[in-house]
Amino acid sequence: MIPVLNEENALAGSVRCVHEFLSAKLDDREWRIVVADNGSTDGTQRIAQTLATEYDNVRAVRLEQRGRGLALRKAWLESGSDIVCYMDVDLSTDLEALPKLLGAIEDEGYDIAIGSRLTNGSRVIGRPRHRELISRVYNLMFPFVFLTRFSFRDAQCGFKAVSRKAAGELVPLVVDNSWFFDSELLIIADKNGYRIKEVSVTWSDDPDSRVRLMTTAYADLKGLLRLRFGGLKRASRLLVSNRGAGA
């Protein structure tokens, strides 16, 4: 799944690149690319629909409301795939890491696999120092806010895979519909015993990134505090209740 907002310039090239890679590397699996447009006002949706007509295994979905988390929620919960994934449209993460994400779930039994720029073996290319610093500080806040260690170190890398079972159980519990969606899902998963694997990646900075650092950082901090003071306990209670109802 590729969430997009006003990406008419990048979308077609990115989808064709991903399609070519998947055709070559995942020829033994069934797969689909879902372009999830969340509120674009340019030609993004038109291009997505054209790509869906051009390729049998490309699908375009449209949400009028903006929010990357909202786009992930819709596409993942509506998918019937055994594994659901997403990557950013700028393809900052080298696609060669994708089979490793899938293998972590399919072959090693992990519930979630995430690309990480902070593990040994990862390469980060062209990232400004201030972005690197903010990212590292943010991820260091997790043990500080929750007074406990986590099984992951890079919550924000736009390159993740989740098993169908874990997605169905966890996604409905996530409150945030924007950039904090990833972090919230991982925190709930980690604290409820889901197995998470970090995969080393090669990551190249996109100078045209649409992420507003200070706005996003403030929203992320609010999200962390919301989970720390009641939100995580609420999600965990709901998870236990839902599991009991399905038993």
Q: Which residue among 182, 190, 205, 208 is the active-site one?
A: 182
> Is 151:161 a contact under the CB 8 Å cutoff?
no
> Is 68:216 a contact under the CB 8 Å cutoff?
no
Q: State yes or no: is 94 an active-site residue.
A: no
* Other C-beta atoms lying within 10 Å of the C-beta of residue 211: 14
Cβ neighbors of 4 (< 8 A, separation 6 or more) are: 11, 35, 36, 37, 38, 40, 44, 48, 89
Q: Which residues pair with 59 in a beta bridge?
A: 34
> Is 100:14 a contact under the CB 8 Å cutoff?
no
User: Coil, strand, or helix at residue 8?
Assistant: coil
Cβ neighbors of 1 (< 8 A, separation 6 or more) are: 33, 34, 35, 36, 71, 72, 75, 76, 79, 84, 85, 86, 87
Which residues are catalytic, by number? Answer: 182
